[in-house]
Structure 1
Amino acid sequence: MTPSSADEPHPDVQAFLELYESLDAPEFSEITPEEARRNFEELRVTDEPDIELASVEDHTIDGPHGDLAVRSYDPGTEGDDRPLLLYFHGGGWVIGSIDTHDGVCRKLADDTGYPVVSVDYGLAPEHPFPEGLQDCYAALEWAAEQADELHADPEKIVVGGDSAGGGLAAGLSLLVRDQGGPEIAHQLLIYPSVGDAAATEAYEANKEGYFLTESDMEWFRGHYFETEIDMGNVYAFPLFANDLSDLPPATIITAGFDPLRDVGANYADRLADAGVSVEYHNYDDMIHGFFSMISDPIDLDPAHEAHDAAVANMDATLE
């Protein structure tokens, strides 16, 4: 894949970037993870959801590091053989929650007609690699075991996520292939963190001025990885794996003005070369995070188009 960026960001994205800059928010490196989480919650969490569903329920399950919160979304469609989407939120493994990504999960449930389960995996630095991934594996086991209760087909489980969550979904797919576990039918990887972005052209071109910055990424990695060896682990960055064969079909979405654009594209290439079915979509005038920009104050048509493409790809694989 040879993705590119447009001559300039979409006008609505440019307006968002100017607004975000005007807020004069502190750099992540200037604040604690706890402060960063509060700031992100204030930016992303709304009191009233835009999409009402038949059922939204919070659950507490047994995780490998204690209680693990998950939230299930049921759109109210009929049938007990529906696919199920297990979703891992973004936020650099350090920030984000099921609350910050509530709107995305509601839209995915509404658009697909699938039940969605969102996972509040443990965040770094309290839970460094591989603890978040282990939480995701536990959530996959729970989703498969509870498929009947969720009126879903345990053989049609999709794992998906954005940014760090996309990397977790990709790492989980590789882990299940290698070590066993519930079957995964599809991967939805939205500008996934699956490799060393610093070695790419997109990183150099987009590491400043487009929402996700070089210093942000260094701060995230510094909290998530305890050692340099961990950064080379294939389950942290699946792009490092020698063999990517026999993985689930994948949908990969990237953005033109995103420092993670090229690692997503490179992963799509590696999967395709290994014989894995891949649908790749690059939105050349978008930035990192655009998939969540689906309601006021920033509601982007290309974000809705990306949701439509993801739904179409999943439906085609799972039909």
Structure 2
Amino acid sequence: MSVVPSSPSATPGLPDSPLDPQMAALLALIVRAKRPPIHAMAPEDAKIAYEKSAPILDIHPPPVHTAEDLLVPARDGHAIPVRLYTPREASWIEPLPLLVYFHGGGFTVGSIDSHDPLCRLLCGKADCMVLSVDYRLGPAWRFPTAVNDAFDVLHWAFAEADKLGADPARIGLGGDSAGGTLAAACAVEARDAGLAPVLQLLVYPGTCARQDTPSHRALADGYLLTADMIRWFFAQYLDQDASRDDWRFAPLDGGGTGAKVDGVCPAWIAVAGYDPLHDEGVAYAEKLRAAGVAATLADYPGMIHDFFKLGRFVPAVAQAHADAVAALRTAFGTSQD
């Protein structure tokens, strides 16, 4: 992987702002390490490599009141592992808001463990429960298994909220990258099922059927997530190429028009300037707004894909974390400490 110079450029798909200096230094460090990229590994080796690298770059896991591992029944009888974080003792009189969170990793790598620090941070700072979902991954489980798991946990969370000490009137959906795709799909499923989440927190979500936007072309290599890696992820996940046009995979433009999003819950969408997925995140915010859905777009021009999990090396990530927390607190109606 080569690091593209971080000076401002007029090239379509590149931001006008330079790459964050600490981010540029981190990318250079990754290049010098000469570790094989995920897409050059066997899937099982890629899963292990991702789990090992995640805690090196992420923030230290903040303390929470409790972190409990549970199982949620899937429609096919599979037990979906989930982890429930609580910021303080649950009160049945004053239940806590709940964020259902789907981790990123191209539908192939990642877990509730790889995203443990981020979920802990959101739990503590937003003063909400977080239910982190270990949905099934490719290539052993292909589309639409992951999205079916996400939908099953969505319905379970609303049905079991009272028992968990959560407020069913204050449930949010969240996810990063592939997890953002699942959260966006869950927002549509929730509307269709008569459920009413208060927010979809989408962090650099994947939303388009094919990777042909200006940001995909301009940022195909050099910024951690590459075009080769995206193709490899989708090869592990999709059951057939035609599934690219399913709105559950591509809520922006699957099938040409993508998901019908009128009436879905409000959105907070974070995008990174040096991320191939930048343009599709922006376009999804525009799609929601065109349908009359309130959508806040938070653009971080000096960041790269996966930057929410690079806070140990890049201090500027802390501001994005704070922005996400503020969005959750606003949606949940809780005061900021």
Query: TM-score, normalized by length of structure 1?
Result: 0.93
1:52 equivalenced with 2:80 (yes/no): no
1:95 equivalenced with 2:112 (yes/no): no
Structure 2 unaligned spans of 5+: 1-11
Task: Determine if contact 1:6/1:285 at 8 Å carries over to the other structure.
Answer: no
Q: Distance in 1 between matches of 2:132 and 2:307?
A: 19
1:71 to 76, 83, 89: 83
Structure 2 residue aligned with 1:132: 146
**Alpha-carbon displacement from aligned partner over 1:224-282 (angstroms, at most 9, x marks no partner):** 11212110001111102263210100000000000000000000001011100011111
Farther off after superposition, 137-146 or 186-195: 137-146
Q: Distance in 2 between matches of 1:106 and 1:115?
A: 9
2:266 to 249, 263, 280: 249
In structure 2, give the amino acid aligned to 1:271. Answer: L
Matches within 5 A, 1:148-167: 148-167=162-181
Matches within 5 A, 1:1-319: 5-45=15-55, 50-65=61-76, 66-76=78-88, 79=91, 80-178=94-192, 180=193, 182-196=195-209, 198-240=211-253, 241=258, 243-295=260-312, 298=313, 300-319=314-333
Q: Distance in 1 between matches of 2:219 and 2:325?
A: 28
Q: Distance in 1 between matches of 2:200 and 2:54?
A: 25
- Please state whether the residue corresponding to 2:140 is helix, strand or coil: coil
Shift of 1:3: 8.8
In structure 1, give the amino acid aligned to 2:23. Answer: V
Shift of 1:78: 6.2
Task: Determine if contact 1:86/1:158 at 8 Å carries over to the other structure.
Answer: yes
Q: Distance in 1 between matches of 2:214 and 2:270?
A: 17
Q: Distance in 2 between matches of 1:191 and 1:26?
A: 24
- Please state whether the residue corresponding to 2:24 is helix, strand or coil: helix
Shift of 1:4: 6.0
In structure 2, give the amino acid aligned to 1:206. Answer: L
Shift of 1:6: 4.2
Shift of 1:139: 1.2
Shift of 1:83: 1.4
Task: Determine if contact 1:9/1:286 at 8 Å carries over to the other structure.
Answer: yes
Q: Distance in 2 between matches of 1:74 and 1:128?
A: 32
Task: Determine if contact 1:115/1:150 at 8 Å carries over to the other structure.
Answer: no
Aligned residues: 314
- Please state whether the residue corresponding to 2:316 is helix, strand or coil: helix
Structure 1 unaligned spans of 5+: none
Task: Determine if contact 1:196/1:263 at 8 Å carries over to the other structure.
Answer: no
Task: Determine if contact 1:89/1:164 at 8 Å carries over to the other structure.
Answer: yes
In structure 2, give the amino acid aligned to 1:215. Answer: D
Shift of 1:121: 0.1
Q: Distance in 2 between matches of 1:310 and 1:174?
A: 21
Cα gap change, 1:139 to 1:181, in 2 (>3 Å): farther
Q: Distance in 2 between matches of 1:292 and 1:30?
A: 22
In structure 2, give the amino acid aligned to 1:61. Answer: V
Q: Distance in 1 between matches of 2:209 and 2:31?
A: 27
The two structures, once aligned, show a CA RMSD in angstroms of 2.0
- Please state whether the residue corresponding to 1:238 is helix, strand or coil: coil
Shift of 1:97: 0.3
**Alpha-carbon displacement from aligned partner over 1:178-229 (angstroms, at most 9, x marks no partner):** 3x16432210000000114522111111110000000000001111112121
- Please state whether the residue corresponding to 1:184 is helix, strand or coil: coil
Task: Determine if contact 1:56/1:71 at 8 Å carries over to the other structure.
Answer: yes
Shift of 1:22: 1.6
- Please state whether the residue corresponding to 1:155 is helix, strand or coil: strand
Cα gap change, 1:313 to 1:155, in 2 (>3 Å): same
Task: Determine if contact 2:13/2:218 at 8 Å carries over to the other structure.
Answer: no
